């Protein structure tokens, strides 16, 4: 029964992927599916309506989502990942926010704003780029440098300018259309801005400090959580791309002109890429699962184990991009046709590769 359900959602996502890209945002049918499946709340504590899924299961689901449609996988990963902040929010505020069936967080990790301390909260001004899911988000998270009313930096305990994160509501922000990139089009990763917005104190938070509500495993380190979730997106997209490459090669009109040696050479390249990705996938999950088990057993993960998770995440992502580059020339002109599925997947892979967190392999 579960297998039937899984195939069903995958087939639906694939059927709407091209329409979502044409619209520049997830199709309403796919959004409704996401709400039904609670995908935007994957990391939300169960007390706030989260599905009580743990990171090992979430990573494998995000891989499947990205394999079905890169834009969907990326949007769920970034939006659900932003909702991970639920555990650091004022509990009354969080309960109010997550009561919305269609709640969706979007935001930016960049420090794009300034917040001036007032008697009741903060006066916020700023602009933040690349907020995946911005067109259907209900909540935006934004990082700001804090200043006092004399425009002086407020310093933290280390003497550095203090940074806080803010919860902004959709009717408080102005969306700035500008997601004009050639891939992950349906993520609608537009910029947003606010001007002279008064934000109450209870809508500020700092991650990794003052955990208010948490499910088991919530304290998995955020850096490795981000690295692993991004890596499985590249993995899912690349698995689909490799499948499409194999199909495309044997449908090429030029196939009859290839020699037996040339066909064998292609098969060698294809199988080499398949094997490398499969082996790295196995190593990735083995390394991650070991870190998760250590957290469950010891309530912490050793630094060397976290370094291994970071290293394999980056290695896997880079291998995915290299496999796509290796196999693309064998696909024929269909792969260069922007309306084709294989072209869309290729563009999604290369757009995902530009995320700064995984730019360098080491």
What gap in Å lies between CA 33 and CA 46, rounded to an integer? Answer: 20
The answer to whether 90 and 120 are in contact (CB under 8 A) is: no
pLDDT band at residue 1, thresholds of 50, 70 and 90? very low
Q: How far is CA 24 from CA 90, 91, 310, in A?
A: 34, 34, 32
Q: What is the pLDDT of residue 320?
A: 98
Which tokens sit at 247? 């199909």
pLDDT of residue 23: 97
Determine what percent of the chain is predicted with pLDDT higher than 70: 98
Res 313: pLDDT: 98
For the chain, list the domains and their CATH numbers: 2-88 (1.10.540.10), 103-205 (2.40.110.10), 222-358 (1.20.140.10)
pLDDT tens digits for range 107-129: 988 999 999 999 999 999 999 99
pLDDT, tens only, 208-233: 677 888 788 889 999 999 999 999 99
Is there a contact between 35 and 102 (Cβ–Cβ < 8 Å)? yes
Confidence of residue 3 (pLDDT cuts 50, 70, 90): very low
The pLDDT confidence band at residue 252, using thresholds 50, 70 and 90, is confident
Contact 348, 263 (CB under 8 A): no
Confidence category of residue 9, pLDDT binned at 50, 70, 90:
very high
pLDDT tops 80 at residue 319: yes
pLDDT band at residue 5, thresholds of 50, 70 and 90? very low
pLDDT, one tens digit per residue, over 323-358 is: 999 999 999 998 999 999 999 999 999 999 999 999
């Amino acid at each position: 029964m579960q297998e039937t359900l899984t195939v069903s959602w995958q087939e639906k996502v694939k059927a709407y992927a091209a329409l979502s890209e044409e619209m520049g945002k997830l199709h309403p049918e796919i959004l409704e599916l996401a709400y039904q499946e609670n995908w935007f709340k994957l990391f939300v504590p169960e007390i706030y309506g989260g599905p009580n899924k743990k990171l090992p299961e979430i990573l494998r689901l995000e891989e499947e989502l990205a394999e079905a449609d890169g834009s969907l996988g990326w949007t769920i990963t970034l939006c659900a990942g932003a909702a991970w902040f639920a555990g650091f929010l004022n509990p009354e505020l969080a309960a109010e926010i997550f009561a919305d069936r269609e709640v969706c967080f979007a935001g930016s990790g960049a420090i794009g704003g300034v917040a001036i301390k007032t008697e009741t909260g903060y006066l916020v001004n700023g602009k933040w780029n690349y907020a995946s899911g911005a067109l259907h988000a209900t909540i935006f998270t934004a990082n700001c440098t804090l200043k006092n009313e004399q425009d002086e930096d407020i310093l933290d305990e280390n003497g550095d300018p203090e940074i806080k994160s803010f919860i902004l509501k959709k009717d408080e922000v102005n969306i700035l259309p500008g997601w004009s990139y050639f891939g992950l089009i349906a993520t609608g990763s537009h910029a947003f801005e606010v001007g002279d917005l008064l934000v109450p104190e209870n809508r500020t938070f700092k991650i990794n400090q003052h955990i208010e509500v948490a499910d088991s495993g919530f304290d998995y380190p955020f850096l490795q959580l981000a690295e692993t979730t991004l890596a499985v997106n590249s993995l899912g997209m690349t698995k689909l791309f490799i499948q499409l490459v194999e199909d495309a090669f044997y449908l090429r009109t030029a196939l009859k002109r290839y020699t037996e040696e040339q066909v064998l050479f292609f098969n060698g390249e294809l199988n080499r890429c398949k094997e490398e990705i499969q082996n790295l996938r196995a190593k990735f999950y083995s390394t991650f699962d070991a870190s998760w088990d250590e957290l469950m057993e010891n309530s912490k993960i050793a630094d060397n184990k976290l370094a291994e998770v970071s290293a394999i995440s980056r290695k896997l992502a880079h291998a995915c991009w290299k496999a796509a580059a290796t196999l693309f020339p064998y696909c024929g002109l269909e792969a260069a046709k922007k309306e084709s599925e294989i072209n869309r997947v290729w563009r999604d892979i290369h757009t995902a590769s530009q995320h700064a967190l995984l730019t360098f392999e080491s």
